[in-house]
Chains A and B, each alone.
Chain A
Amino acid sequence: AQTVTQSQPEMSVQEAETVTLSCTYDTSESDYYLFWYKQPPSRQMILVIRQEAYKQQNATENRFSVNFQKAAKSFSLKISDSQLGDAAMYFCAYRRSQGGSEKLVFGKGTKLTVNP
């Protein structure tokens, strides 16, 4: 079974600085998807960024980028120029690419605090 591990229960960053959230996963499959979701206090899960395992290029969405290391099974999220609105829980998630259930497997999350 696939597992996702987020080793940092909490992180903090100063406004305008850069922070990196860590995520590792375990799978025997070669093709899959990885995601970072943001969950603010409103509980609404919002997709931040996604990465397809067959793509070597790291995904980027504005101030958010990932460092995808397939061999190491590592998928970290970098937030640049942090803003107060970035404060939230961040969840790393895995999904197999084809066949069977398309459920997401989540890590336990990292609580990000942004200090003004």
Chain B
Amino acid sequence: GAGVSQSPSNKVTEKGKDVELRCDPISGHTALYWYRQSLGQGLEFLIYFQGNSAPDKSGLPSDRFSAERTGGSVSTLTIQRTQQEDSAVYLCASSRTRGSNEQFFGPGTRLTVL
């Protein structure tokens, strides 16, 4: 079956512009995660959605970052007024249920802020 998909694959934007990154999880997966991978760094947790529960937003670095998940499926990560330090690869993952051991990752979106 189809894996986690993300779009766009690459995004170049100018400082100060808003961007939206999209994640399509595996069908039927109730949990969805966003991570950020800066150059030479490991993955940094951003936000976690589980079913209809309130999301865990504890990893969002500033109020310029927000995310939503519509209908328990597709998720959009929005970065407002982008800064150069926002340049990174943004990875989305999904897992079947709460407590599931494996998170399946998408190919990521590489964001470059000029």
Instruction: State the A residues within 8 Å of B (CB).
Output: 4, 6, 33, 37, 42-47, 50, 52, 91, 93, 98, 100-109
Contacts and interface: CB of A to CB of B under 8 A. Distances in A.
Interface of B: 31, 33, 35, 40-45, 48, 50, 56, 58-59, 89, 91, 93, 95, 98-99, 101-103, 105-108, 110
Main SS class of interface, A: loop
Contacts of A102: 31, 48, 50, 95, 98-99
A90 to B, nearest CB: 11
A45 B105 contact: yes
Contacts of B106: 44
B58 A44 contact: no
13 contacts: A43-B108, A45-B105, A46-B105, A47-B102, A47-B103, A50-B101, A102-B98, A103-B48, A105-B45, A106-B35, A106-B42, A106-B43, A108-B42
